[in-house]
Amino acid sequence: MSIRGNSILITLAVTLIGTAPAWSQSLLKTLDPDNDGTVDLAEAKSAASKLFDKLDRDHDGTLDKRELRGRVIAKDFAAADPDNDGTLDKNEFLALVEKRFKAANPDNDGTIDTKELKSAAGRSLVVLLK
């Protein structure tokens, strides 16, 4: 790669790293209606339930891969779809949110803080709920 290409990549990386705290703080505020600085499972599921309703554009009570728009990779979608009907109903979607929440909460204190949201598991939850 050229020096110019490397410079662009470095600039992009620095920009993304510099904005990560603001991004995670903003998301935390969105998911944290009681403003205690953390997200608990009930808050995550409440946000997920509202998101489900918004994403279900055909109002059939399920989300297909198109409606999820890249929030879930194929392997995770298949695991979250135990009836193999090619869609996630609200209970299946909320179960996936709970699985990702628990993965993002390694200290098992029942809440996710900004630091945990920035972890790989936290980012996976964020991608699902964005």
Q: Of 71, 78, 65, whose CA–CA distance to 124 is shortest?
A: 71
| Integer angstrom CA distances of residue 61 from 57, 87, 88, 95 | 9, 9, 9, 15
Domains of the chain: 3-129 (1.10.238)
pLDDT in tens, the chain (130 residues): 455 443 443 443 333 334 445 555 676 777 888 888 899 999 999 999 999 999 999 999 999 999 999 999 999 999 999 999 999 999 999 999 999 999 999 999 999 998 999 999 999 999 999 8
Give me the pLDDT at residue 83, please.
Answer: 97
